[in-house]
A and B are shown apart, each in its own frame.
Chain A
Amino acid sequence: MPVDDSPLIEAIQQGDQKALATLYDAYSGALHGVILRVVRNTDLAQEVLQDTFVKIWRSAGAYDPAKGRPFTWMMNIARNTAIDMVRSAAVRHSGSVRSLDDVVYRIGHDDVREKMDDAGVKDVVLDLKAEHRQLIELAYYQGFSQQEIADNTGIPLGTVKSRTRAALLELRTQLKDHR
């Protein structure tokens, strides 16, 4: 059981900058890692990381412990900020949002992994099944809904749902084994 970060969020709600610094020291690397995997560009990742912590600072009052633990909340802010950045950058550059087809295609060809390796980003958990890795990639790092994944991969929605669970169970088991 990790430490409970809720008191830090409460302190931030009161305007305590030291609490934010503590959160930064604990999680900036984890959030930066997630962001890097989404934006795949070190400069953009820094910008998103800064935006993320400014948002954490400004919207700490909106954190609701009934919805999830602080890290999940912070990670969702980081992820959404990063995904927004990628999608708006894609619109600026090519006039259209990168389609999921492209993403699926690239994952199929392991291009993503190569790019991540280029940026010095290596996954700790490498022996996930390919189908599970694909789902975590699409859901977690690309922000696609289950319906979008089903529509674009041809995998039935029910299977996407059960496979997402299976993927996270496999992740859980492997994290335990690596401990």
Chain B
Amino acid sequence: MNASELIASGLLEAYVLGQVSPDEARVVQASRASDPLVAAELDAVEGSLQEFAVRNAVPPPAASKAAIFDRIEELNSKVKNSTPVIPITKASPMVAARSTGSFSTWLAAASIAALVVSAAFNMIQYGQLEEARTEVARLENDKAVLAEDMNVQRASFEQSQNQLAVVMDPQRKAILLNGVGNAVGEQARIYWDQKATSVHMDPMTLADLPAGQQYQLWALVDGQPVDAGVIEKGEAFHGLQRMKDVPQAQAFAVTIEKEGGSPTPTLEAMVVMGQV
């Protein structure tokens, strides 16, 4: 995805709203670092949500602030006064001093030492168990992510295969539609099977439209425009899509209409056109 595609995709908004996967977040962060356009757009999105929140501010009760700083003071003092774990080495001279040769004191000291060693061993084992559990959870998560990825890849592969079949079909005529008026530079392509009358449309570089508007394809038959269907928005927009069947035409054109399409084309809103 280049910068303008990324901006038009809605991914930046989803990123700021915290709705993207870690992989998508990395894509956005990398683009933000490398592309000033993306950085500016992200800043605008963040800015508008910040401003929205500031405009909708509701002052909290005055006591709130003091309560927060009390909790922070408490946290800080806990860190300072937290009793350190008594090191084993400090305990042993005490035991040694009291053991005045008597076997039973020696035995008591030895059993305490054994207990300490065993407790330490248990703690280490427990720690390892926890680590293993975390690792298993992480691997399971990785597996789910990979499976999900594979499904997405498979669907995308099948879609590409289908599209390729249309594009490669020798029976189909490819007609390039070039931008007109304000849309000079934009391109789309029609694949027309004149025998079967089926029409496929590749919106190629047509820009995404805001809500309320939709592209509509027209077949020009003896100078008269005939509706050939609206171009799907959203996901389906970026790929080949099947339009209405067209038995005959001398040219094809795309106009911007209201969402759902119009019975007759708005000629001044024509974006691309091409002769058969």
**Residue ranges of A at the interface with B (Cβ–Cβ < 8 Å):** 1-2, 17, 20-21, 24, 27-34, 36-37, 45-46, 49-50, 53-54, 57-58, 66-69, 71-72, 75-76, 79-80, 120-125, 129, 131, 139-140, 143, 145-146, 156-159, 161-169, 171-172, 175, 178
Contact = CB atoms under 8 A, between A and B. Distances in A.
Contacts of B33: 66
A70 B210 CA distance: 30
A32 B237 CA distance: 40
Contact of A158 (B18, B45, B211, B236): B236
B17 interface: yes
B68 A54 contact: yes
Given A46-B61, A67-B29, A161-B14, A75 B49 contact: yes
A81 B52 CA distance: 19
Contact of B210 (A140, A166, A172): A166
A156 B57 contact: no
Shortest beta-carbon contacts, A-B, top 7: A158-B234, A158-B235, A29-B57, A165-B10, A161-B10, A30-B53, A33-B58
A17 B32 CA distance: 31
Contact of A32 (B18, B45, B46, B59): B59
Contacts of B54: 27, 29-30
A36 to B, nearest CB: 6
B204 to A, nearest CB: 17
Interface string B45-66: 1111111111111111100110
Contacts, number: 158
A175 B235 CA distance: 29
Contacts of A76: 18
Interface residues of B, number: 51
A69 B46 contact: yes
B222 to A, nearest CB: 36
Contacts of B60: 28-29, 32, 45-46, 49
27 contacts: A2-B51, A30-B50, A32-B64, A36-B58, A37-B56, A45-B60, A49-B60, A50-B64, A50-B68, A67-B29, A68-B42, A68-B46, A69-B43, A69-B46, A69-B50, A71-B53, A80-B18, A139-B14, A140-B49, A146-B14, A146-B19, A162-B10, A162-B233, A163-B10, A163-B211, A168-B48, A172-B45
B276 interface: no
B206 interface: no
B245 interface: no
Contact of B16 (A30, A36, A37, A68): A68
A131 B53 contact: no
B69 interface: yes
Given A72-B50, A79-B18, A158-B233, A24 B65 contact: yes
A175 B29 contact: no
Interface in B13-51: 13-14, 16-19, 25, 29, 32-33, 42-51
